[in-house]
Each structure stands twice: as structure tokens, then as C-alpha cells.
Amino acid sequence: MQYQTILVKHIETALINGQVDEHTAIRLKSQGCIYQTRDEILDHFEVIFRELVNYYQERLRHRILKGAEFIDSLAPDDPRRIPAMDKYDGLCKQLNESEDREHGTSNSNIT
């Protein structure tokens, strides 16, 4: 029950923050655990949490790509260029931090 509660809180927070769409949130929350042993239960929730992390990272990658396309479409002197580049850098930093946590490292760099 504790793992399910933690999972639901993470998913609801991600939904509120726009990090996950409603369909995905419902799908992840509805994956009930029917396992009995501790190891089976841990494995079940690890799979769901990894799926959530992968979804979040893919969504960030998509936003980064869209940001790069937007930046490329701007003239060098466009006043939106610097804020767009700052946002792009922030998204890259979020993705790097997420991947670092996932792999237990701190030196990957996407730009």
C-alpha cells in the first residue's frame, strides 16, 4: 500500500505540473499490484517508476527538439532568442539531472 500511495502522489504531482498527460497518469495509476512477495512487489513498482521516468525524459527530449527548432527559426537579433535559449538550456539541464539520477552519475552534458 505504501508504494502505491507514493506512486499515486508522484503521478498526481507530475500531472499537476504538466509533466505527464492525463491518459498516461490514469494508465500508470491503474496498474494494480497482485503480487505477494516483497521482491515481486518491489519489482512491480520499479517497472512502473521506470516507465514514468522514461516517459518524463522522452517528453523533455521532445520539448528540447521543439525548442531547438524554434531557436533556429529566429533571427539572431530577435528579442525572443535569448529567453528561448535560456529555456532550452534549462530543459537540457533537467534532462541531464534526470539521466544522472537514473544512472547514478553527474557528468553527462546535452546541449
Domain assignment of residue 58, yes or no: yes
Domain assignment of residue 81, yes or no: yes
33 phi and psi angles, rounded to 5 deg = -100, 120
Residue 87: give the domain boundaries: 2-103
Number of domains present in the structure of the chain: 1
Please state, in angstroms and rounded to a whole number, the distance separating the CA atoms of residues 3 and 43: 11
Contacts of 71 (CB under 8 A, 6+ apart): 81, 84, 85, 88
User: Helix H segments across the chain?
Assistant: 2-16, 22-29, 38-73, 81-103
Domain assignment of residue 78, yes or no: yes
Domain assignment of residue 109, yes or no: no
Given a cut of 50, is residue 55 above it in pLDDT?
yes
What b-and-e string marks burial along 1-27, b requiring 16 or more CB atoms within 10 Å of the CB? eeebeebeebbeebbeeebbeeebbee
Q: In this predicted structure, what is the pLDDT of residue 111?
A: 46
10 Å Cβ neighbour count for 64?
19
Domain assignment of residue 64, yes or no: yes
- Model pLDDT for residues 76-104, shown as the tens digit of each residue: 999 999 999 999 999 999 999 988 887 77
Given a cut of 60, is residue 25 above it in pLDDT?
yes
